[in-house]
Amino acid sequence: MKKQKLILIGNGMAGVRTLEELLKLEPELYDITVFGAEPHPNYNRIMLSPVLAGEKQVDEIVLNSREWYAENGITLHTGDPVTAIDRQARQITTASGMQASYDRLLLATGSNPFMIPIPGHDLPGVVGFRDIQDVETMLDSARQYKKAVVIGGGLLGLEAANGLKKNGMDVTVVHLMDILMERQLDKPAAGLLKASLVESGLKFLMEAQTEAILGDQRVTGLRFKDGSELDTDLVVMAVGIRPNMALADAAGLHCERGIVVNDTLQTFDPRIYAVGECVQHRNNTYGLVAPLFEQAKVCANHLAQLGYGRYQGSVTSTKLKVTGIDLFSAGEFNETEGDEILVLQDPAQGVYKKLVIRDNRIKGAVMYGDTMDGSWYFQLLREATDISSFRNTILFGQHDLGDAGHGEETRVGMLSDEAEICGCNGVCKGDIVNAITTQGLFTLDEVRAHTKASASCGSCTGMVEALLASTVGEGYAATPSKKAVCGCTSYSHDEVRKAISELELKSMPELFDRLDWGTPDGCPGCRPALNFYLLAAWPAEYQDDAQSRFINERAHGNIQKDGSYSVVPRMFGGLCSADDLRAIADVADKFEVPEIKVTGGQRIDLFGVKKDQLPAVWKDLSEAGFVSGHAYGKALRTVKTCVGKNWCRFGTQDSTGLGVKLEELTWGSWMPHKFKLAVSGCPRNCAEATIKDLGVVCVDSGYELHIGGNGGIKVRVTDLLCKVESEAEVLEYTGAFIQCYREEAHYLERTAPWVERVSLNYVKQRVVEDEVGRKALYDRFKLSQKFAQVDPWKARAEGAETHEFTPLSIDRMRAAS
């Protein structure tokens, strides 16, 4: 049977969850295409706050990698939003002009942050808090500026404020109401929250109405309705969201506050479904994850043509962790006439519980500090359970008060199988216990993989771990507080590096034996890292293991999608002669290279080389005086330069000459990850030195050294390390910085996240302030380079093993040829 065409517009959590549910039911029914406006695969939007706070990296919050789409036969287009829907032709058009037809269309366009329409709301430095780009904008501002204002004292606003504070900013939260999080908390709980946040360093302006945002080229402050003003360098608006229904509305679909759908999640066009924050169902819109995932399940049921699912709305609860403080609320927690109130308050322990009761049934609940019984209260609320028989003890939770030994494990163990543990994904206790017992699960990660419990916001993690502990007893493997190198060991990267040094481990077999490695020969995840760590620690003694390198490094070429390779000979500082160009042309002719390209790093790339040709290609290039550009390696890639003062009328120094010296100093370096350098001849920065791992900007009085930059998807501007006066100092500081990075970074950790992890001040102390330490680092760097830059052809002629096409220097290679 010919497959139908299903297009998903929106690559967020609700839409992709619908696809996951559909693939479980009818994996062969549709050819599926996904269009996403953002340049990223599907990620967990709930976890943007930990990314802002530096607790997670962007790649750690990805829910479905690009490989997942490919493995499930889904075509993914990112960074290309759909701009029009032609319902008559059943066709969509994207911003790039791409057109695609559909048999069924699924809208999951989410929501947009509401930006208060006041003067100055469109100034640079005014952002929402909705996606990865917003987070990157805030992080960039935190690196350049000091003061921030967050407008909105709800959950998102407080998380944004906390993240900016952790990035060193002076943060003030401006809120229109007299209490924080008024939709989730009552006054006593909100008061406890505010006191705790003030103690942590946040400032608050309550009952403050913003009248205008001040500034010309960029935001400089706020003016309030009472005429007062507040200086700031950044404004984050976190005052709510609005369903993103513009595309649907333009296509003629019925929209009110959102895209109107029925109980099967169909719009008024039966071929078009909608789920998520863009949807209005029975006059309600939802911004929490749990209702969106319930919608996804029902929608998938109908897309799979089963037809029996119905979405009848959601009763929601909110279990949150705001800046490390546990909160829970559900139902109508602000009492009205006829309600009864049960309150437990222990200020010394930071605990507050309030239940709103009507006719001996829970109507609403608020909890602060201790939220362990939130799921139980929520179950009692949803089922309208008569609490008469245990009303006197209900505030103390669902456990036997006579047994002081009862803790979280016992309390969660006494919940009924129908009690909801993970509200985001609708996972009940019985589902988790059944998965643990039938699948033989022992770790939190295993439970997440099988049930999705705690895989979204993470607020139920403690309960899931308590269930694990109570179900499997001593077999439970608690979540480690550190990130292990891989599944073969419990040791972290730092612990492995420390052991290699202190125990003088100089081979992989010795390391596996002394550290009780879980697998006799390691795995593809740990062997490349261990190979680098051993190489960095013992450059003279350790023999580089080619089989522990990635395929590009083993083959000395960049593998391409058709299985061929690209070859990049190194051109120091981008300089070359006519003879060099003729030599490259000769190699291209001899091996019938299909394509030649000048790269962005000022090198010439030969594409389409077959794997079995690589040794011969490199032999000819080597004899012509070329060494590898390491375009494939965890090594120095290139040193990008501008022409400098020799040619440019703005140049202050010889940037090209310095670039050549830096490249001759550092090429062939073993690195935790790829490493890029650049030298700009003046502050106009034509060589883009301020987005490189190490960049040099030439100025009239010397050289500025910048570190920790990154281009690509996640752009990071460098931090200024220091300013020096001579080229010799540039070389010394560069070698010292690289060696510090090599000795302390985790394998596959670029300089940008490394600098953020250890702090700029720490790097300055090691490389700039400690003169003796800097010179020692530089000496170790030069020693390691002695063993990194070897002549492979001479070594091979003498019968030695080598895995690097990197002679000692270009002059030596030319002399040898």
CB 710 within 8 A of CB 750: yes
pLDDT the model gives residue 767: 95
Which residue from 191, 197, 171 is spatially nearest to 179, judged by alpha carbons?
191
Q: Are residues 737 and 671 in the same domain?
A: yes
Same domain for 616 and 677? no
- Here the tokens at position 177 are 């109401």
Same domain, 561 and 703: no
pLDDT at 812 over 60: no
Domain contains 254: yes
Q: What pLDDT shows up at residue 204? A: 96
Task: Render the burial of 465-476: b for 16+ CB within 10 Å, e for the rest.
Answer: bbbbbbbbeeeb
Per-residue model confidence as pLDDT tens digits over 299-344? 999 999 988 889 998 877 766 666 667 888 888 888 888 889 999 9
Cα–Cα distances in angstroms (integers) from residue 669 to residues 354, 542, 782, in the given order: 62, 15, 10
For residue 217, what are the contacts with CB-CB under 8 A and spacing of at least 6?
Answer: 124
Confidence of residue 789 (pLDDT cuts 50, 70, 90): low
Mean pLDDT rounded to a whole number for the chain: 85
Last-in-domain residue among 194, 218, 239? 239
CA gyration radius, the chain: 30
CA dihedral 359, 365, 371, 375 (to 10 degrees): 60
> Which pLDDT tens digit goes with each residue over 63-122?
899 999 999 999 999 999 999 999 999 999 999 999 999 999 999 999 999 999 999 999
350 or 295, greater pLDDT: 295
Same domain? 574 vs 611? yes
**Residue at 244: amino acid letter:** N
The CA dihedral of 534, 539, 544, 549, to the nearest 10 degrees, is 60
814 band by pLDDT with thresholds 50, 70 and 90 = very low
Q: What is the CATH number of the domain that holds 75?
A: 3.50.50.60
Q: Are residues 247 and 202 in the same domain?
A: no
User: CATH code at 626?
Assistant: 3.90.480.10
Instruction: State the average pLDDT over residues 708-716.
Output: 79
Listed residues 303, 327, 353: the one ending a domain: 303
Range of the domain at 590: 549-633
Minimum mean pLDDT among 40-54, 359-373, 516-530, 735-749: which range?
516-530
Same domain, 269 and 248: yes
End-to-end alpha carbon distance in the chain: 65
Regarding whether 783 and 653 lie in a shared domain, the answer is yes
Decide which of 266, 281, 303 is a domain's last residue: 303
Residues 703 and 812 grouped into a single domain: yes
**Distance (Å, whole) CA 370 – CA 714:** 38
Strands (E), 347-416: 351-358, 361-368
3-state secondary structure of 28: coil
- pLDDT surpassing 80 at residue 573: no
Q: CB-based contacts of 531: which residues, under 8 Å, 6+ apart?
A: 508, 544, 545, 548, 549
202, 362 Cβ separation under 8 angstroms: no
Q: Residue 473: its pLDDT value, please?
A: 54
pLDDT at 803 over 50: no
> What does DSSP assign to residue 628?
B
Instruction: Summarize the confidence of residues 256-269 as an average pLDDT.
Output: 96
pLDDT at 808 over 60: no
- Does the residue 582 lie in any domain? yes
**Residue type (1 letter), 542:** Y
Q: Which whole-number Å values give the CA distances from 590 to 494, 576, 594, 610, 616, in the listed order? A: 48, 21, 11, 13, 10
The lowest-confidence range among 430-439, 453-462, 676-685 is 453-462
Q: What is the arithmetic mean of pLDDT over 215-232?
A: 95
Whether pLDDT at 791 is above 70: no
Question: What is the residue-wise DSSP string for 479-531?
Answer: PPSS-BSSTT-S-BHHHHHHHHHHTT--SHHHHHHHTT-SSTT--TTTHHHHH
Pair type for strands 604-609 and 595-598: antiparallel
pLDDT of amino acid 99: 96
Residue 128 has what pLDDT? 94
230 in the same domain as 177: yes
Please check the confidence at residue 799 and state whether its pLDDT lies above 60: no
Which segments are annotated as binding site?
642, 648, 682, 686
Q: Structural domain tally of the chain?
A: 5
Please indicate, yes or no, if residue 734 is contained in any of the structural domains.
yes
CA 50 to chain centre: 9
Q: Is the pLDDT of residue 745 over 80?
A: yes
Comparing CA positions, the residue from 342, 493, 319 lying closest to residue 420 is 319
pLDDT at 647 over 70: yes
pLDDT value of position 713: 60
Which is more confident, 123 or 478?
123
Q: In terms of domains, do 642 and 507 share one? A: no
pLDDT value at 800 more than 50: no
Q: Where are the beta strands (DSSP E) in 152-254?
A: 170-175, 203-206, 210-215, 219-224, 229-231, 234-237, 241-243
pLDDT of amino acid 380 = 87
> Which of 372-376, 454-458, 803-807 has the highest mean predicted lDDT (pLDDT)?
372-376
Please report whether residue 338 resides in a domain.
no
Annotated binding-site positions for siroheme: 686
Dihedral sign from CA coordinates of 534, 540, 541, 543:
positive
Q: Token pair of 646, please?
A: 């020799």
The sign one gets for the Cα dihedral 450, 451, 457, 463 is: negative
Report the pLDDT averaged over residues 525-545.
87
Span 265-284, pLDDT tens digits: 999 999 999 999 999 999 99
Q: Does residue 88 lie within any of the structural domains?
A: yes
User: Which pLDDT value is given to residue 601?
Assistant: 66
Instruction: Report pLDDT for 19.
Output: 96
Are 169 and 148 contacting, i.e. CB atoms less than 8 angstroms apart?
Answer: yes
Known binding-site residues for [4Fe-4S] cluster equal: 642, 648, 682, 686
| The dihedral formed by the CA atoms of 285, 286, 291 and 297, expressed in degrees to the nearest 10 | 60
Residues 104 and 153 grouped into a single domain: no
Lowest mean pLDDT among 23-37, 366-380, 416-430, 461-475: 461-475
The rounded percent of the chain whose pLDDT value lies above 90 is: 45
pLDDT digits (tens, 9 = 90+) for 149-184: 999 999 889 989 999 998 999 999 999 999 999 888
**Which pLDDT band holds residue 674 (cuts at 50, 70, 90)?**
confident
